Amino acid sequence: MEFFGEVWAWYTDPANWTGNNSIPLRLWEHVSLSVASLLAGLAIALPVGLYIGHTGRGARMVVAVSNIGRAVPSLGWLGIAYPISTGLFQRGGIGFLPAFIGLIALAIPPVVTNTYSGLQEVDADLREAGRGMGMREMELLARVEVPVALPVILAGIRVSAVAVVATAPLAALVGGGTLGSYILQGLALSDEVRVFAAAVLVALLAIFTELAFAWLQRRAVSPGLSRPDDEPLADPSQVARPGEFASS
């Protein structure tokens, strides 16, 4: 119990609330890095997923690449991004950039595969009906395929978002700050209080992200379309499928 007292003291220590190693600053680094990486990842993954899902072109290759991408451990992405960002941008070796590149790479595969498979699962009769109503390809995509596939697409975005928030602490390894800084500092200094306090913050942030996206998923999907089997952790009847478990 004494230990938890020390953890509480760490949270409430004024020294941890100001300066260049403060909780608000680390939290801001964490959130801004995560949001930027997720948005950039979506900007790449959604068009690719929509294109191959709609046309079926290049599907095999993209999905194969995505699956290999998923086998790369989260730590691996940051490790690979580090020399790449140093090579591409002379001064970009340390800090935000390598973490950003690594997290983008991490965010892409779940969104591409889910968007693709979501569109693939759209009933062929619905497509035919849309075409019969005179819809052009883009209309068909926007008004039939995407709305029907939305739960699966959002499930992919949720997996990506949680993976990014959960992996962002590793950015500290490449000088990218985030709440992970405290964990590395604590490990280096054998300061168990700091390690534990930061780990709790990271865990809360990830769980919050999971719940927020689950809520968004429910809100965004019309009741007629909501499929309970897209709630991976809540529904007992579903078998674990590889895609659900991005290693975070």
Partner 1 sequence: MIEGQPFFRFDWLVDNLDQLARRLGEHLLVTFIAVTVGFLISFALALLIRRYPPIYGPILAVSGILYAIPSIALFVLFIPITGLSLLTAEIALVSYTLVILVRNIVTGLRAVPSDVIEAARGMGYTDTQRLWRVELPIALPIIVAGVRIATVTTIGLVTIATLIGMGGLGYLIVNIGVTRRFPTATITGVVVVVLLSTIVDLLLLAVQRRLTPWAKAREA
Distance of CA 61 to the CA centre of its chain: 22
Residue 167 is a binding residue for partner 1 (CB under 8 A): yes
Candidates 39, 61, 68, 189; binder of partner 1 (CB under 8 A) is 68
Cβ 105 to partner 1, closest distance in Å? 11
List the interface residues with partner 1, window 171-230 (CB under 8 A): 173-174, 180, 183-184, 186-187, 192, 195-196, 199-200, 202-203, 206-207, 210
Cβ 194 to partner 1, closest distance in Å? 10
The residues, ordered by sequence, that sit 6+ positions from 149 with a Cβ below 8 Å of its Cβ are 53, 115, 118, 119, 121, 122
Candidates 36, 79, 95, 135; binder of partner 1 (CB under 8 A) is 79
Q: In the structure encoding, which two tokens stand for residue 98, read together?
A: 């390598």
Cβ 71 to partner 1, closest distance in Å? 5
Cβ 182 to partner 1, closest distance in Å? 10
Neighbours of 238 (CB within 10 A): 14
Closer to partner 1 by Cβ: residue 51 or 100: 100
Q: In the structure encoding, which two tokens stand for residue 187, read together?
A: 């490990």
Sign for the CA dihedral angle at 92, 97, 101, 106 comes to: positive
Candidates 10, 51, 82, 116; binder of partner 1 (CB under 8 A) is 82
d(CA 78, CA 94): 12
Residue 240 is a binding residue for partner 1 (CB under 8 A): yes
CA distances 80 to 25, 101, 158, 164, 248, Å, are 26, 9, 24, 16, 16
Residue 154 is a binding residue for partner 1 (CB under 8 A): no
The conformation of residue 190, written as its DSSP 8-state character, comes to T
- Find where tokens 């801001």 sit: 28
d(CA 114, CA 229): 14
Cβ 54 to partner 1, closest distance in Å? 29
Please report, as ranges, the residues that interact with partner 1 according to CB under 8 A: 3, 68, 71-76, 78-80, 82-83, 86-87, 93, 162, 165-167, 169-170, 173-174, 180, 183-184, 186-187, 192, 195-196, 199-200, 202-203, 206-207, 210, 233-234, 236-242, 245, 247-248
